[in-house]
Every structure is written in C-alpha cells, then in structure tokens.
C-alpha cells in the first residue's frame, strides 16, 4: 500500500533556513542540514528546500547546502528555486538532490521539463505551480506569486505532465501562510486532471487539513512548513492523528536499532 506522504518544506536563503510571509520579513531559523535531519528523525517522509536567494551568486551556497544535507539525510530531498535553466538541473542532482522543482523557469521555457525528464528521468522533475482562484478558475503565478500569467493552473499542470514532469507541487497562493487548510477544490481539480502524484501545499494549520488534502483533495502528499518550524506541532503528532483517522501514513516512530 502506497502511504500518503508528509513533506516538510524549508525556505533556504544564503545557506540558512528562513521564515517569513510570502518571501518577505524573512528571519533566520536555523541550519538546513540540522533541521532536515531532525525532521527525518521525527518521521518526515521527504524534505523540500525552496531556495529563496535573490541572486545567481548564491548558487554555490545552495549547492554546498545540498551536498552537506545529502551526506546526513536518508529520505528524499527536493530542491526548488535554484533552477533557472536546464544547465542548473545536473549540478543540483549531482550535489545530492533527488528531485528538482521548477516553477517560473518552466513557464518561461516548458522544454526545460522535457530536457530534465529525458536526461535524468521524470521521477526527479517536479513541476511547481502557484495558483490563485480567479474568475471561476485557477490562475498560475510565477516569481514567488508576484507575476500573473495567462496560464490556467489545471491546463498547465496537464501540459507539465505531458512534457515530462513526474510530480506536481501545487501551492494555493490564497491559502499560503493562512493556516486555515489547503485549497481542496484546487487540489482536487489538479489531482483529477493529471496522472502523476500531486503534493498539496499552502494552508496547513491543523492535522485535519492534511487528512482532508489526502481524502477530499486526493493529494498523494501534503507539504507542511510554518506550523512545524514554529513548534506548534511535530511530524510525529501529525502522523499520530492521521493514523487515528485511518489515513495510513508511514509510521513516524523508528524501529529500535538491533
């Protein structure tokens, strides 16, 4: 039985984990390598690093963080934000990322998804889509939600999959940071439209929000960030509640070492 995944997202800037609202008011919350390992121990199923560094000069720093993380992390690591062209994919994977996620760069050059899938396999290409409710549909935004596009989120998700994406990371801009639940209608619309796993993102505040994303939203995975970083709950506590509701996540507690 495939288990619904609880994925922890860390925003990384200049080699540090930062926290803020929609890329603003960032403050330092720790070392990504340490935090990622701690979340693995707590029972996280995957880690996502979202690089929010502004400049290209920070690329080396990101690669270094990925490299150091891969040496101590033994669950999958996805890196987003650092991919601006096909040439950026190889170095990130070589450094230790298992998957790369692309957002703005894929909108600018959708062929990026194809090149990535052909060269490295679609399982390591995640299409990241930021969507907002608009005129009865879903509008894609890029550049951290600051630039509106002409793309409909469901149609764009389907195109991403046709072009080679092996997974969709779907963030509701409306819900992001609100902690009032994932945008389930959006999650459901995309999950029903594509044949690859969908990660629900934006809005996790309580354990039942994850449950609803897996059931009503039909998501394969749920992304969690702020409520964990703020210490409001733990991966273990989330998984405990989910299990209690009959959502068969991977058990958080590790087997005793023999």
Among 75, 169, 213, 228, binds another protein (CB under 8 A): 75
- With CA atoms as reference, report the closest residue to 128 among 158, 93, 101: 101
Residues within window 42-61 making contact with another protein, judged by CB under 8 A? 45
**What is the residue-wise DSSP string for 64-89?**
HHHHHHHTT--S-EEEES--SSGGGH
Q: Which is nearer to another protein, 244 or 251 (CB)?
A: 251
Q: Is 107 in the site for another protein (CB under 8 A)?
A: no
Q: Which is nearer to another protein, 39 or 141 (CB)?
A: 39
DSSP bridge pairs for 87: none
Is 130 labeled as catalytic in the residue annotation? yes
Q: Is 1 in the site for another protein (CB under 8 A)?
A: yes
Q: Is 208 in the site for another protein (CB under 8 A)?
A: no
Reported as type and span, the H/E element at residue 137 is strand 137-142
DSSP at 206: S
Is 11 labeled as catalytic in the residue annotation? yes
Alpha-carbon distance of 215 to 231, in angstroms, equals 26
Applying CB under 8 A, the span of 55-63, 104-112, 115-123, 173-181 interacting with another protein comes to 115-123
Alpha-carbon distance of 195 to 162, in angstroms, equals 10
Q: Where are the alpha helices (DSSP H) in 71-181?
A: 89-95, 104-108, 111-120, 153-163
Among 19, 59, 67, 158, binds another protein (CB under 8 A): 67
* Whether the Cβ atoms of residue 152 and residue 143 lie closer than 8 Å to each other: no
Reported as type and span, the H/E element at residue 100 is strand 99-102
Alpha-carbon distance of 211 to 204, in angstroms, equals 10
Applying CB under 8 A, the span of 22-30, 72-80, 173-181, 206-214 interacting with another protein comes to 72-80
Applying CB under 8 A, the span of 15-23, 71-79, 139-147, 208-216 interacting with another protein comes to 71-79
Return the biggest CA–CA distance within the chain: 58
Q: Is 71 in the site for another protein (CB under 8 A)?
A: yes
* Whether the Cβ atoms of residue 16 and residue 30 lie closer than 8 Å to each other: yes
Q: Is 93 in the site for another protein (CB under 8 A)?
A: yes
Nearby residues of 22 by Cβ (< 8 Å), 6 or more positions away: 144, 145, 176, 177
Alpha-carbon distance of 115 to 82, in angstroms, equals 16
Q: Which is nearer to another protein, 23 or 120 (CB)?
A: 120
Q: Is 25 in the site for another protein (CB under 8 A)?
A: no
Which of 98, 130, 176, 212 is catalytic? The answer is 130
Applying CB under 8 A, the span of 26-34, 50-58, 136-144, 249-257 interacting with another protein comes to 249-257
Q: Is 96 in the site for another protein (CB under 8 A)?
A: yes
Q: Which is nearer to another protein, 10 or 75 (CB)?
A: 75
Residues annotated as catalytic are 11, 130
Binding positions for another protein, rule: CB under 8 A: 1-5, 40, 45, 67, 70-76, 90, 93-98, 118-124, 166-167, 195-197, 220-221, 250-251, 254-255, 257-258
């Amino acid at each position: 039985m495939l288990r619904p995944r609880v994925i922890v997202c860390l925003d990384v800037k200049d080699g540090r984990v930062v926290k803020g609202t929609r890329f603003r008011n960032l403050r330092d919350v720790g070392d990504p390598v340490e935090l990622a390992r701690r979340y693995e121990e707590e029972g996280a199923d995957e880690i996502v690093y979202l690089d929010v560094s502004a400049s290209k000069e920070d690329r080396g720093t990101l690669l270094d963080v990925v490299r150091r993380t891969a040496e101590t992390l033994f669950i999958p690591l996805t890196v987003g934000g650092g991919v601006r062209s096909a040439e950026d994919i190889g170095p990130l994977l070589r450094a230790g990322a298992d998957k790369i996620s692309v957002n703005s760069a894929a909108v600018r050059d959708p062929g990026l998804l194809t090149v990535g899938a052909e060269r490295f396999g679609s399982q390591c290409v995640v299409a990241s889509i930021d969507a907002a409710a608009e005129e009865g549909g879903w509008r894609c935004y890029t550049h951290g939600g600051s630039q509106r596009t002409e793309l409909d989120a469901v149609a764009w998700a389907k195109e991403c999959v046709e072009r080679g994406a092996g997974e969709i990371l779907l963030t509701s801009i409306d819900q992001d940071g609100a902690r009032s639940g994932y945008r389930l209608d959006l999650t459901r619309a995309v999950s029903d439209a594509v044949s690859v796993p969908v990660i629900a993102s934006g809005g996790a505040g309580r354990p039942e929000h994850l449950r609803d994303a897996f059931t009503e939203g039909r998501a394969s995975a749920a992304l969690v960030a702020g409520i964990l970083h703020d210490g409001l709950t733990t991966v273990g506590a989330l998984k405990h509640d989910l299990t209690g509701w009959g959502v068969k996540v991977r058990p958080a507690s590790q087997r005793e070492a023999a």
